[in-house]
Amino acid sequence: HHLRPFVLGLPKTELHLHIEGTLEPELIFALAERNGIQLPYPSVQALRDAYQFTDLQSFLDLYYAGAGVLITEQDFYDMTMAYLLRMRAEGVRHVEIMFDPQTHTVRGVDISTVFAGLARALREARDSWGLSAYLLLSFLRHLSEEDALVTLEQALPLREAYLDLWIGVGLDSGERGNPPEKFARVYERCRTLGFRLVAHAGEEGPAEYVRNALDVLQAERIDHGVRSEEDPALLQRLIHQRTPLTVCPLSNLKLQVVDELDQHNLARLLRLGLCVTINSDDPAYFGGYLVENYLATAQALNLTAPQLATLARNSISASFLPDARKLALL
Ligand code: ES4
Ligand code: ZN
């Protein structure tokens, strides 16, 4: 794509990224071997060939299975460092990374192992090439609020040690039937504790879930949010509050939230004046990292260079960076 050098050079951030979704099939196989885990696929290619999703749940089944190879601190470090090296190559200046501790603690992996591996990679990237990073601990919405509260309590003793990284919480996994209200208490507790708040809403779920993520959870940023378009009053509110949407075009295509990328509403939302950003979600599963998401979207929706620059600028202003750092990047 002729805009590749332009997009590579844009100062930009990634704000919607599940670190477990960066596990490439090659690394899944390598970690399985290292940990003596038998995978139900004969080869890397057979695993990659299984990545044919019809909806969010069909993806999540493989995503949670893939994450099952993560056992040691080194595993979490290797996964995270592989992703950060790609972001360096793509001209990304800052990342806000979600991780799903419940996926690991349920298998007997200690939450401190998860934090330690992620943090060692993030601090190394910061110290060696100046890539800044924050962590957003994500609660799995298909599990109970009680489970989320227990997870928060397990993580809180680590807060001091990771104050430079762990700045907020998120809500992910299967959206349908798991509305934001289910997590009202745990979000209230996180708010009291001073955490920044994001939540997935309006990916497969209705616009009402976006509204309740704002009203009940007091989310400051909405992950996906593309179904907000179904509610004009909500759209006006998102515009006036400048609530950012972290949109993931290739994810929406692969999970059949849209049938074709040229039917994606990102350009419409941008034209309406929403603070839309482009992100990669689970790049190892959806066929492209951040720059690929920009370029595929530009191609499908005929985005211009100034529009791509606006999207990149939005990604900086929608981040949780301090204002001084935002200004330096803009
Ligand atoms: C996710 Cl695409 C998506 N949606 C909701 N939860 C997730 N966890 C990882 N990827
Ligand atoms: Zn997501």
Report the share of the chain in percent with pLDDT over 90.
100
Question: Predicted confidence band at 256 (pLDDT cuts at 50, 70, 90)?
Answer: very high
Query: What's residue 279's pLDDT?
Result: 99
Ligand 1 pocket residue status of 102, Cβ below 6 Å: no
Ligand 1 atom nearest the C-alpha of 251 is 2
Average pLDDT over residues 38-55: 97
Q: Model confidence over 49-65: pLDDT tens digits?
A: 999 999 999 999 999 99
Helix axes 290-301, 305-317, angle to 10 degrees: 140
Q: Model confidence over 186-202: pLDDT tens digits?
A: 999 999 999 999 999 99
ipTM over 0.95: yes
State pTM to two decimals: 0.98
CATH code for residues 4-319: 3.20.20.140
Residue nearest to atom 3 of ligand 1 (CA): 173
Residue 99's DSSP bridge partners are 137
Average pLDDT over residues 200-207: 98
Report the share of the chain in percent with pLDDT over 70.
100
Query: What's residue 270's pLDDT?
Result: 98
Asked if 279 and 15 touch (Cβ cutoff 8 Å), the reply is yes
Asked if 101 and 135 touch (Cβ cutoff 8 Å), the reply is no
Ligand 1 pocket residue status of 223, Cβ below 6 Å: no
User: Would you list the domain boundaries of the chain?
Assistant: 4-319
Ligand 2: distance of its center to the CA of 39 in Å?
25
Please name the amino acid found at residue 105.
T
Ligand 2: distance of its center to the CA of 98 in Å?
8
* Residues carrying an active site annotation: 203
**Alpha-carbon separation of residue 296 from 1, 111, 248, 293 (angstroms):** 9, 36, 11, 5
Q: What's the rounded Cα separation, in Å, for the pair 311 and 32?
A: 38
Q: Model confidence over 71-105: pLDDT tens digits?
A: 999 999 999 999 999 999 999 999 999 999 999 99
Q: Where are the beta strands (DSSP E) in 46-165?
A: 92-99, 132-140
* Six-digit token string for 50: 């299984």
Which residues carry a binding-site annotation for Zn(2+)? 16, 18, 200, 281
